[in-house]
Structure formats: C-alpha cells, structure tokens
Structure 1
Amino acid sequence: MRLFIVFLLSLLTIPSVFAKAESINLKAFATNYYNAMVASQAPNATTKELEAYLAFLTDDVGHSHLPYVTDDSRLPDGKEAMRKGMTFYLGAHTEYNSELLNIFVFNDSAVAIRYTSNAKGIHPQNNQALEYSNVMMEVLEIEDGKVAVIRKYHE
C-alpha cells in the first residue's frame, strides 16, 4: 500500500517538475527576440537576419500592427506571410536605430517589450523617401517556447 501511495504521489509531482524544466526565461527570450528583430531592420540586413528573427515565431503566428494590420488571427501560413512581407521591405532602411526601454513578463505565457525606433529609407514600391520615429510596445504571446501572437502598439 505504501508503494502504491508513493507511485500516485510521483504521478502528481513528475509533470510539474517537467513543466518547470521546459519553462523558459522570458526576459532573456524577449531580449534575444528584440535583438533579432532589430538586426532584421538594419540597412545591411539579409535573409540570414530575417530567418534568425522568424525562428522565434510559430508557423501559424498571428500578427497585428495597429492601426495598419488589425487581424491577429493565427493562420497556418502566418510565418510565411510575415516572411513575404518582411522580404519586400528588407534593406529598405538606409538608417535604423532602436533602443530597448522595458521588458514586462506576465507569468510564463506572455511578455511585452517597449522600445524606440528611428528609421530613414526608400520605400521599395514607390521609391519615395520614408522616415519615422516612434515608441512601440509589442505584446508577445508565448506557446511552446515560440511567439504565437504579436500585437504591436504605438505610444
């Protein structure tokens, strides 16, 4: 009987031990995500930097960037759609600077990063000069160690 009780208790504790072993340091994850994102925006960025950023995302990632993209639905080709869109703008910046301001961790399922970004460049579609400066906050929903949903907000 004693062995049976020990067995039952082990069934209750083993999953929690494995769950803790699989959890990630979201502050470090957010910092690495931010650094990869910034590298993908640099004037000399290539598909190598773009793929390093995309490696943080689930294949069905949902993405909103208000007020431009309002639907953050997760679709099977979410990462591929981001790859296509980001490839179109790859190398469009002639200048890009960013500073990480804050990281906010919400239990083990979400993190928010707040940062500044300043950019100049040439729009790849109309060849007109572009310039912007803003403070952004990205709320990242994490699933199985990857970003499942990105919500971008301007300050």
Structure 2
Amino acid sequence: MRLLFICLLSLFTIPNVLANAEQLDLKTFATDYYKAMVASQAPNATTKELEAYLAFLTDDVGHSHLPYVTDDARLPDGKEAMRKGMTFYLGAHTEYNSELLNVFAFNDSAVAIRYTSDAKGIHPQNNQALEYSNVMMEVLEIENGKVAVIRKYHE
C-alpha cells in the first residue's frame, strides 16, 4: 500500500517539477534575443548573425512595425519572409549602436524590450544615405520557447 501511494504521488509530482524546470526565463531570453538582433544590424553582419537572430523565431512568426507594417498575421513562411527582407538590408549600416533600456516580462507568454538605436548607412535599393536615431519597444509573444509575434513601436 505504501509503495502504491508513493507511485501515485510521484505521478503527480514529477510532471510539475519537470514543467517548472523547463519554464523559460523571459528576461534572459529577451536579453539574448536583443543581443542577436543587434548583431544582425552591425555593419559587419553576415548570414551567420542573421541566422542566429532568426533562430529565436517560430517558422510562422508574425511581425508588425508600426506605422510601416501593420499586419502581424502569422503565416507559414513568416520566418522565411523575414530572412528575405533582412538579407536585402544585411550590411547596409556603416554605423550601428544600440542600448537596451528595459526588459518587462509578462507571465510566461510575453516580454517587452525597450532600446535605443542609432544608425547610418546606405540604402541598398536607391544608394541614398540613411540615418536614424530612435527609441523602440518590441513586444514579443512567446510560444514554446520561441518568438511567435513581434510588435515594434517607436517612442
């Protein structure tokens, strides 16, 4: 009887312990995501840095960057579309600096990062000089340890 009780108790306890052990530390995840994103924007960034950033995303990632991209629908080729767009601009910056300002975690399903970015470069399509400086906030919806939706906002 005692052995049966221990077995039943372990059936209820072990899954809870494993679930808690696998819970994602969103603040660490967000900081690592931010570092990978910044590396993908550096003047010397290659497809290696780009793929390191994309590894944080689900294959069907949704993305909005208001006011430019307003549809954050998750599509089967979401990551591939981001890869294509980011590859087009890869290495366009001649200067890029960023500072992480805040990380806000919301239960186990979302995290927001707020950061500054300053960049100079040459637009790959029209060869015109580009320069910007802004404060951004990205809200990242997390699903199974990956970013499922990215929502970007300018301050």
Deviations 1:18-75 (A, max 9, x none): 2111112111111111000000000111101000100111111111111111111111
Partner residue in 2 for 1:113? 113
Partner residue in 2 for 1:152? 152
Partner residue in 2 for 1:41? 41
Tell me by how many angstroms 1:14 deviates.
2.7
Structure 1 residue ranges without an equivalent (≥5) = none
Structure 2 residue ranges without an equivalent (≥5) = none
Partner residue in 2 for 1:96? 96
Secondary structure of the 2:74 match is: coil
Letter paired with 1:114: R
Letter paired with 2:71: D
Partner residue in 1 for 2:123? 123
Partner residue in 1 for 2:76? 76
Letter paired with 2:137: M
TM-score normalised per structure 1: 0.94
Deviations 1:49-102 (A, max 9, x none): 000100111111111111111111111111000000000000111111100000
Tell me by how many angstroms 1:2 deviates.
5.9
Alpha-carbon separation, structure 1, partners of 2:49 and 2:122: 20
Alpha-carbon separation, structure 2, partners of 1:112 and 1:5: 44
Secondary structure of the 1:127 match is: coil
The number of aligned residues is 155
TM-score normalised per structure 2: 0.94
Tell me by how many angstroms 1:10 deviates.
3.5
Alpha-carbon separation, structure 2, partners of 1:63 and 1:14: 37
Partner residue in 2 for 1:15? 15
Letter paired with 2:70: T
Detail structure 1 runs of 4+ shifted over 6 Å in the superposition.
none
Secondary structure of the 2:31 match is: helix
Of residues 101-110 and 8-17 in structure 1, the stretch that sits farther from structure 2 once superposed is: 8-17
Partner residue in 1 for 2:58? 58
Partner residue in 2 for 1:138? 138
